[in-house]
Amino acid sequence: MNVRTRFAPSPTGRLHLGNIRAAVFNWLFARRHDGAFVVRLEDTDVDRNVEGAEAQLLEDLAWLGMDWDEGPDVEGPHGPYRQSERMKLYRAAGEKLWAAGQAYPCFCEEGEGEESDPADPGFRRYSGRCRALSPAEAHRRVDAGEPYVMRLAAPLQGTIEVMDEVRGAISVPAEDIDDFVLLRADGRPTYNFAVVVDDVDMKITHVVRGSGHLSNTPKQALLFDAFAVPRPVFAHHAQILSPEGGKLSKRSGARAVADYRAEGFLPEALLNYLSLLGWSDPEGREVLTRDELIAAVSIERLGASDALYDPEKLRWVGSQHMARLSLDEIVAGVRPFLRAAGPPVGEWSGEVLESAVEALRTRLSAFGDVVEHLHYFAPSDEARTVALAAVRQDGSARTVIGAVATAFAALPDREWTPAGLKAAIVQAGRDTGIRGKGLYTPVRLAVTGQEHGPDVARILHVIGREEALARLAEV
C-alpha cells in the first residue's frame, strides 16, 4: 500500500499542542512507510479565518522538521489544497451522489421536516420528507431555481460498523444518523462532506486523529461507501488533557507551537515529547531522535487512554536533547537571548561566553532558560546582603575569602581561566588548611549570593578579575 496521510488544520489561529499532535503522528507514520504527508487547509469558514494564520502554521510545521509532500505551497496531483479553492469539486461530488441515488436535494426550510427524539428531546433529526420526492419532481424544482440543500440518503435500518485500529469495532444504529446535509443552499460543503471528498480525491489511506473526531467517523464511513471507494484506515488516538485532566488550554499551561519556539525549545525535543503523548516506544525509550521516532512508530502502539500534558516532562525531554548538543551549538542558541537581556551579558563573547554556557548548560531545557539563570552572575542586592552577613559572622569563612582574594590578585591575566581560578582556590585551601565546603561555600556566597549553583570558577571567569575582587572585598 502506498501510504498517504494528511493534516488538515483550519487557519483560524495558532497551532497548539492539541492539533499539532495529530500532525506529528501522521508525519512520522508517512515517513516510516516512505509514503506521502499531505497538508490541506480547511478554510471554508471565512468569518473565522485569521490573517497570517496559514503562513504561521506552515512555518511551525517546517520548524518542527515536518516536511510535506503536497500542500498549499507545494504543487501536487491532487490540488488545490485549500478547501476554499475546491468548491466546484464539492458541488460536482454532490451531483455525483445524487445521480447515483446516494443523495437527494431537500427543499425544506431550516427546521422544517425535523423530528425530535422522545428519548432525547434535544436531538432533532430530519424526517426524510424530501427523500420521497420522485426524481422528476426533484429535478423540476432544482431546474426552477428553488433553493435546496443536498442530503445523504442514509441507511434506514441496520447498524453502521466502523473498524478503528486503536479502539476496535464501533457500531452505531442506523436510526442514530439522519439524512445529514452535504451541501448547503449556497453550495458550500458541510465539514464531513468536504473531508471525505478531499480524502477520496487525495487518495488518503490512513485517517489518524484525536478521539474527539470519533463522533464524525460513522457519517464519514457512510460517505466513503456512498462514493463506492474503500474506506481509509481509521485510528483515533488519545486526546491531550491538561495536567489536571481537564480541557487543554493556555490557562492550563499549554501554549502555541510558536511560543515554544520563541522560548528556545529545540524542535527535536518538542517533536519527541509530542510523540510520547498517546504513543509508547516498543523499547521503552523516552528520548528519541527524529530518525529513531520514524523507525519505531506504529499504529499498534497508539493508546486509547487520554494523555496528560506534563510541562515538567517536556522540560526534562528538552534537557536531554540539549545535553546532546555541542558547546558551539548551545552558544549559538543562547546568544540571541543574552543579547536581548542587554549589557553586560549581551556583550559576552569568546571564552567568557563559552564559560557562561558551560556553567549553565546542564540547567537548560530550552535556550531561553539562560536568562533565568543570570542571577548566578549578577545576584540581587538582597541576596548578596544576606550572604555577606553569613560570611562575615564566620571567622573561618573570612579567612578563606582573604586567602582567595590574595591568590586572585596575584593570578596572571593568562591564568584567569576556569582552570587557573580553580587552582588558585585549591592553593588558598592548602594555605589555610581549609578544604571541601568550608573552602568553596564562602567563595560562592561572596560572589553569587547563593550557597549552591554552577561551577564557581566559571562564574568568576565570566565576571572578570575586577568584579570578582570587588565582591570579595565587601566581606
Cα(458)–Cα(460) distance, integer angstroms = 5
Cα(277)–Cα(228) distance, integer angstroms = 35
| Dihedral (CA of 165, 166, 168, 169) sign | negative
Question: Are 1-71+238-324 and 86-237 the same fold in CATH?
Answer: yes
Say what the pLDDT of residue 115 is: 65
The set of catalytic residues is: 250
Cα(286)–Cα(414) distance, integer angstroms = 44
Say what the pLDDT of residue 127 is: 82
Say what the pLDDT of residue 247 is: 86
Tell me the domain boundaries of the chain: 1-71+238-324, 86-237, 329-473
Say what the pLDDT of residue 119 is: 61
Cα(21)–Cα(210) distance, integer angstroms = 9
Say what the pLDDT of residue 155 is: 96
pLDDT tens-digit series, residues 314-348: 999 999 999 999 999 999 999 999 999 998 899 99
Cα(427)–Cα(435) distance, integer angstroms = 10
* 8 A C-beta contact, residue 151 and residue 131: yes
CATH number of 1-71+238-324: 3.40.50.620
Say what the pLDDT of residue 251 is: 74
Which residues is 61 bridged to in the sheet? Answer: none
Residue 124: enclosing H or E segment and its boundaries?
Answer: strand 120-126
Across the 475 residues of the chain, what is the mean pLDDT of every consecutive 10-residue run? 96 90 96 98 91 96 98 95 97 98 94 63 78 96 97 96 97 94 96 98 97 95 98 95 85 86 98 95 96 97 93 98 98 97 91 94 98 93 93 94 96 96 96 94 95 94 95 94
Cα(100)–Cα(106) distance, integer angstroms = 16
Give the 3-state secondary structure of residue 364: coil
Options 3.20.20.70, 3.30.470.20, 1.10.10.350, 3.40.50.2020; CATH for 329-473 is 1.10.10.350
User: In terms of Cα–Cα distance, which of 380, 408, 393, 381 is closest to 442?
Assistant: 393
Say what the pLDDT of residue 18 is: 85
Residue 281 grid coordinates: 516506544
Say what the pLDDT of residue 249 is: 77
Domain topology for 86-237: Rossmann fold (3.40.50)
Query: HSE-up of 448 (CA within 13 Å, CB side)?
Result: 24
**DSSP H helical segments within 71-216, as ranges?**
87-99, 135-143, 191-201
Q: Give this prediction's pTM.
A: 0.90
Say what the pLDDT of residue 418 is: 95
